[in-house]
Chains A and B, each alone.
Chain A
Amino acid sequence: DTAVSQTPKYLVTQMGNDKSIKCEQNLGHDTMYWYKQDSKKFLKIMFSYNNKELIINETVPNRFSPKSPDKAHLNLHINSLELGDSAVYFCASSQSKGLAWREQYFGPGTRLTVT
């Protein structure tokens, strides 16, 4: 009964490859997020979807493309992977009403290593 799940947990790949990370939430939330935790440990928002609509798109290279097939899923596809993409990627979800969106539920993270 995992609330927010991500697959895979670990991903090791070579530069130039294309890879996807999947996220699913069973909390009935209507908003989902992708965060990147960089080498300095800051968690930075990348994208946010509300009811399958993209509402936040931070300064992220076009090689990153999120896709939300439904409210419970938010996938992240990365083209032409670069060394600097190595990081831990976290998916999160929340309700959008009132202040509830701030209390986000995070997945366990996907550690991406690009060699």
Chain B
Amino acid sequence: DQQVKQNSPSLSVQEGRISILNCDYTNSMFDYFLWYKKYPAEGPTFLISISSIKDKNEDGRFTVFLNKSAKHLSLHIVPSQPGDSAVYFCAASARWGKLTFGQGTILTVHP
């Protein structure tokens, strides 16, 4: 049972435009959500997070939106840059010590 799902395996965007990555979850006990970014041959790196008591968190070009009623979160990148090309993982937590990850979305930003 995959409790966190990223249904789009890949996304292609033009440089300067907005990238929107989506994530759905099923476990209503999740209270904290994160996005990680991964380059080839490297481990994931933390990007941005949001608590379930909020519906938006912004950090520079990156904004995460949370819709608890729909059990959906999204990551917006504006403007997108070629260096943003990577795999993006959504993750969620309900208990101390355990993150549940989605399967990732490959973002390609074309110059």
Contacts and interface: CB of A to CB of B under 8 A. Distances in A.
A27 interface: no
Contacts of B43: 4, 90, 92, 105-109
Contacts of A42: 2, 101-103
A43 B97 contact: no
Interface residues of A, number: 26
B32 A99 contact: yes
A103 B97 contact: no
Interface stretch (A44-52, A60-68, A76-84): A44-52
Contacts of B96: 101
Interface in B23-39: 32, 34, 36
Contacts of B42: 108-109
Which of A43, A92, A105 has most chain B Cβ within 10 Å?
A: A43
Contact of A43 (B32, B44, B46): B44
B64 to A, nearest CB: 13
Contact of A103 (B46, B98, B100): B46
B99 A102 contact: yes
Nearest to A99: B32
A12 interface: no
B98 A104 contact: no
Nearest to A109: B43
Given A102-B93, A104-B46, A106-B44, A44 B32 contact: no
Question: A-B pairs with the 9 shortest C-beta distances?
Answer: A106-B43, A43-B101, A41-B103, A103-B46, A42-B103, A48-B97, A106-B44, A56-B97, A107-B43
B49 interface: yes
B46 A40 contact: no
A72 B18 CA distance: 40
